[in-house]
Structure 1
Amino acid sequence: MFLELDSVGRTFVLERRKHTEELCVLEGISFGVAEGSFVAICGPSGCGKSTLLRLIHGLQQPDAGEIRVRGERVTAPSLDRGMVFQHHNLMPWRTVIRNVELGLEAQKLSKAEARSRAERWLDKVGLSDFASYYPAQLSGGMQQRVGLARALAIDPAILLMDEPFGALDAQTRVLLQEELERIWEANAKTVVFITHDIEEALFLADRVIVMSARPGRIIADIAVDAARPRREQWRAAPEFAQLKGEIWKLLRSGQQEALLEEVSP
Structure 2
Amino acid sequence: MFLEIDRITKTFRLERRRNQQELRALDDISLDVAEGEFVVICGPSGCGKSTLLRLIHGLQQPDSGEVRVRGVPVREPTLDRGMVFQHHNLMPWRTVARNVELGLEALGRPKAERTMRAGEWLAKVDLEQFATYYPAQLSGGMQQRVGLARALAVDPEMLLMDEPFGALDAQTRVVLQGELERIWEADSKTVVFITHDIEEAIFLADRVIVMSARPGRIVADIPVEAPRPRGDAWRAAPAFAELKGRIWELLQQTAVKEPVT
TM-score, structure 1 normalization: 0.97
**Whole-angstrom CA distance in 2 between matches of 1:145 and 1:254:** 33
CA RMSD, aligned part only? Answer: 0.9
Give the structure 1 partner of residue 109 of structure 2.
109
Summarize deviations over 1:30-73 as a string: whole Å, max 9, x none: 01000001000000111110111000000000001000000000
**Whole-angstrom CA distance in 2 between matches of 1:105 and 1:18:** 44
Give the structure 1 partner of residue 73 of structure 2.
73
**Whole-angstrom CA distance in 2 between matches of 1:253 and 1:16:** 30
SS in 2 for 1:219: strand
Q: Which runs of 4+ in 1 moved over 4 A?
A: none
SS in 2 for 1:54: helix
**Whole-angstrom CA distance in 1 between matches of 2:8 and 2:156:** 23
CA shift for structure 1 position 19: 1.4
**Whole-angstrom CA distance in 1 between matches of 2:92 and 2:215:** 36
5+ long unaligned stretches in structure 1: none
Counterpart code for 1:57 = H
Show the 5 A alignment for 1:135-150.
Answer: 135-150=135-150
Give the structure 2 partner of residue 96 of structure 1.
96
Summarize deviations over 1:223-260 as a string: whole Å, max 9, x none: 000000001000000000000000000000011xx52x
**Whole-angstrom CA distance in 2 between matches of 1:192 and 1:58:** 14
Give the structure 1 partner of residue 33 of structure 2.
33
**Whole-angstrom CA distance in 2 between matches of 1:190 and 1:41:** 14
**Whole-angstrom CA distance in 1 between matches of 2:55 and 2:79:** 14
Give the structure 2 partner of residue 164 of structure 1.
164
Counterpart code for 2:153 = A
SS in 2 for 1:117: helix
Show the 5 A alignment for 1:32-51.
Answer: 32-51=32-51
**Whole-angstrom CA distance in 1 between matches of 2:10 and 2:104:** 32
**Alignment partner of 1:83 is 2:83:** yes
Give the structure 1 partner of residue 59 of structure 2.
59
Counterpart code for 2:58 = G
Counterpart code for 2:223 = A
CA shift for structure 1 position 15: 1.2
Counterpart code for 2:41 = I
Counterpart code for 2:165 = F
CA shift for structure 1 position 17: 2.3
**Alignment partner of 1:129 is 2:129:** yes
Counterpart code for 1:131 = A
**Alignment partner of 1:7 is 2:10:** no
**Whole-angstrom CA distance in 2 between matches of 1:251 and 1:17:** 33
Give the structure 2 partner of residue 219 of structure 1.
219
SS in 1 for 2:52: helix
5+ long unaligned stretches in structure 2: none
Give the structure 2 partner of residue 254 of structure 1.
254
CA shift for structure 1 position 18: 2.3
SS in 1 for 2:146: helix
Show the 5 A alignment for 1:160-199.
Answer: 160-199=160-199
**Alignment partner of 1:244 is 2:252:** no
SS in 2 for 1:59: coil
Q: Aligned residues, how many?
A: 259
Counterpart code for 2:212 = S
SS in 1 for 2:254: helix
SS in 2 for 1:86: coil
**Whole-angstrom CA distance in 2 between matches of 1:130 and 1:179:** 17
**Whole-angstrom CA distance in 1 between matches of 2:252 and 2:128:** 43
Counterpart code for 2:116 = S
